[in-house]
Structure 1
Amino acid sequence: MSEAALISQIADRVLARLKASDPSQVIVGISNRHVHLSDADFRALFGYAAPKVKKEVRQRGEFAAEETVTLHGPKGAMARVRVMGPNRPRTQVELSRTDCFALGIDAPMAQSGHLDDAAPIEIEGPAGRISLEHAVIVAGRHIHMSPEAAGALGLRDQDRVSVRFPGERGARLDNFLIRVKDSYLPELHLDTDEGNAVGARTGDHVEICRN
């Protein structure tokens, strides 16, 4: 490694540590379309009990599974949509607004787990096909935080904050929902539509606005 490359690498690591020590700096996770399945729906689609781990994600205990499904809507189908694990009490399909247009689905923007008004969908797996009346949402922008991280910023669960995104397409976006749980690591979630709009990528650091 050249001296210039080594200096650049060291500078990047120092900057990352400085950002990590500032509670207003949070790492970005861009969320592509994905599906969370209940135990019963997973078995109906795959013929066995639980998803297999393909890749761990940042939040503890959660993972991208080996399994994928095909989504069917009024206007077409979308194949190889990733299943996320572990299984959940209710099946939830998270799509971007662009995905919804492509499938012909009128899904509400909602917080994860709030499915009473979610849109209908058909899901196909290698062992079967299911039809659900309330499953599809466009996940609202949100930030995961531990109680300690939230407390350092004077925030509580269900608060709303604004976030400043740097770069040529940078912008300030409002109405990020704060979600607080003991197991959470600080992480901001945007879908692909919003991430592309502000030029954000997974692993970027952005700033929670304090005023």
Structure 2
Amino acid sequence: MNQMQIEKEIYRSITKILEEKGIQIVLTQKIPISVSARHVHLSPEHVETLFGKGYSLTYFRNISQPGQYACQEKVSIEGPRGRIDNVRILGPSRGQTQVEVSMTDARKLGLKPPVRRSGNLEGSEAVTLIAINGRKLSLSEGCIIADRHVHMTPEDASRFHVMDGDRIAVKVSGEKPGIMGNVTVRVKDTYKLDMHIDTDDGNAFLIQGSESGEIVKESW
């Protein structure tokens, strides 16, 4: 058992004892929340399939996680019942091509993608990508609805008494307050503290992208 696991078990034991006495511990540290719109991650092979041999994606602007960025390039997503144009590609290239949409998007496209952690694509939904030059890429799998998740450094995780892979609940305030459950914790020393939700969750809680939340439950 490592140091983080030991600290977590001590925290849980203390919390349980206090709850039995009617005392509740409330963590007040805030977690910034970002709303992630539909987007595409391409493998190097599929960059060339859509844009030509030797093509490199063009930097547009940084996004919340260090080393990640939005690209100038956009594609259309096509499903059995519809198409969504001008979908941003995010860089850098990845090992597998991944298409992330909301449930609202999926209904428009006529797709039934599963809710998955990024990179867990086996058995996910088939989808077609179309570049502005007319080139098409038909994927047998790769389309998902991304799970709610929080990026943290190991130091953040220690502070919040959580570990990589934990599921937590996060409370948000505002005009339409509420609790979002089943939020996956992702821990890596290169991450920046940030919770990512899709546009459906953002609209449901009236989150514009500059709000924050707080952990209210360690598991869901």
Matches of 1:57 and 1:103, distance apart in 2: 26
Matches within 5 A, 1:16-31: 24-31=29-36
Paired with 1:138 and 1:210, the residues of 2 have a C-alpha distance of 23
Q: How far apart in 1 are the matches of 2:136 and 2:208?
A: 34
Out of 96, 101, 125, the position equivalent to 2:107 is 101
Q: Deviations 1:123-175 (Å, cap 9, x if unpaired)? A: 11134211101110000101000011001111100001111110110101111
How far off its partner does 1:32 sit? 0.3
Deviates more, 1:142-151 or 1:123-132: 123-132
Aligned-residue offset at 1:28: 0.8
> Which amino acid in 2 is paired with 1:52?
T
Report the alpha carbon displacement of residue 210 of structure 1 after superposing the two structures with TM.
4.9
- Aligned partner of 1:35 in structure 2 is 40
Question: SS of 1:199's equivalent?
Answer: coil
1:137 partnered with 2:144: yes
Q: Determine the C-alpha separation between the residues in 1 that align with 2:100 and 2:196.
A: 12
Tell me, yes or no, if structure 1 residue 202 matches structure 2 residue 209.
yes
Backbone CA RMSD of aligned residues: 1.3
Residue 53, structure 1, aligned to residue 59, structure 2:
yes
Amino acid in structure 2 at the alignment position of 1:79? D
The match for 2:22 is none
AA matched with 1:94: E
Counterpart of 1:126 (choices 132, 145, 157) is 132
The TM-score, its normalising length taken from structure 2, stands at: 0.83
Q: Distance in 1 between matches of 2:123 and 2:116?
A: 9
For structure 1, the 5+ residue unaligned runs are 1-21
Gaps of 5+ in 2: 1-26
Distance 2:61 2:41 in 1: 15
1:132 partner amino acid: L
Confirm or deny: 8 A CA contact 2:74 2:132 kept in the other structure: no
Aligned counterparts, 1:130-209, within 5 A: 130-209=137-216
SS at match of 1:209: strand
Partner of 2:11: none
One-letter amino acid of the structure 1 residue matched with residue 102 of structure 2: S
